[in-house]
Amino acid sequence: MTNRIVLQAPAPAKINLGLEIIGRRPDGYHEIVTVLQAIDVVDVFHWRASNGAFRYLPMHSMEPAADLVVRALGAHGWEQWTGDLRVEKHIPLAAGLGGGSSDAALALRLADPDAEPGALMQRAAQLGSDVPFFLNGGTALATGTGTKLTALQTPEFWVVLIVPELVIPDKTRLLYSRLESDDFSDGSLVRAAADRPASAIRQRPPNAFERQMRRIPEVARAWAALAQAASGPVSLSGAGPAIFACFASEQHARGAFRRLPQEVGAAYVARTLPANYAERAVHAMATALRGEPTAL
């Protein structure tokens, strides 16, 4: 085998079609209700054949202690694995798009492709509240701390996504600590949206972090620009700062994208992805990682 890259597998981002926070739990976490939707903004795992022992090649900007891929891969099994594995990042970090969680979920699937689904879900939940969703992706109603999932039929639509250029240290903890009584709700609006996810094109289910994020000048400017370009509702993904608008067709999405001013931040056009997206590619990489023949 040569040293060229021979296999790739994607780890998709997600958006939240609404996010309601019901209250604080006795364990310190918060009870939420949200609809998670995978989209085709993706990080890409590259596996390359080599003649030596397995190596994971981390991003230079990522501290090992913060790298969820390292934790997900674990230490067991590496002595039997082969090739070099690296992650090519495209999903913006700390933007409310779940990039780190998606990478961790793909790493879990590579590390233990024959694991029972329940056991894999438990391991995923230990890594982060969004990680279990990314094991299958698609569309799901997430409740509890975000780890209790109910699969939904994936609607077909397009999004224009903006990630304003700002960094909020310890963002999620900070935003949760600043929640006010008006930010809490009973989850009924998002549950109603879960019955008809395609309605996200016309409606905008609430997001409990919107009040805080729209006070930030960079987010406010991007919000106004996207609302004008889309001529429709704008939503916040997760705890932000990523925002998005939904469209029924690629043509309408790209038209709105072209109307965006350049200074609002990084912008993307993406479509929704069904569950088990690129499953064959993931299986092929897991097989090659173990030095076994693969059909791809």
User: Digits of tens for pLDDT over the chain (296 positions)?
Assistant: 445 668 999 999 999 999 999 998 888 789 999 999 999 999 999 999 988 889 998 876 677 677 899 999 986 678 889 999 999 999 999 999 999 999 999 999 999 999 999 999 999 999 999 999 999 999 999 999 999 999 999 999 999 999 999 988 889 889 999 999 999 999 999 999 888 877 777 888 899 999 999 999 999 999 999 999 999 999 999 999 999 999 999 999 999 999 999 889 999 999 999 999 999 999 999 999 998 866 55
Q: Is the Cβ–Cβ distance between 267 and 260 less than 8 Å?
A: yes
Beta bridge partners, 33, equal 20
What the chain holds in terms of domains, given with CATH numbers, is 5-289 (3.30.230.10)
Phi/psi zone of residue 291: left (φ > 0), alpha (ψ -120 to 50 degrees), beta?
Answer: left
pLDDT of residue 67: 87
CA 147, CA 152: separation in Å to the nearest integer?
15
Amino acid at 163: V
Buried b / exposed e over 237-270, threshold 16 CB at 10 Å, is bbbbbbbbbbbeeeebbeebbeebeeebbebbbb
Give the strand pairing for 82-88 and 158-163: unpaired
User: What is the C-alpha separation between 176 and 78, in angstroms, rounded?
Assistant: 38
Q: What is the pLDDT of residue 149?
A: 97
For residue 166, give both structure tokens. Answer: 């700002």
- Outline where DSSP puts E strands in the chain: 5-24, 30-53, 55-57, 82-88, 139-143, 148-152, 158-163, 235-236, 243-247, 266-271
Instruction: Tell me how far apart the alpha carbons of residues 29 and 75 are, in angstroms, rounded to a whole number.
Output: 29
Q: Which of 143, 176, 283, 160 minimizes the C-alpha distance to 230?
A: 160
Lookup result for tokens 């030596």 = 52
Could you give the CA distance from residue 233 to residue 256 in angstroms, rounded to a whole number?
A: 12
Q: Which residues are catalytic?
A: 14, 130
pLDDT given at position 1: 43
- The pair of structure tokens assigned to 13 is 């981002």
229: part of which helix (H) or strand (E)? helix 217-230
**Res 61: pLDDT:** 67
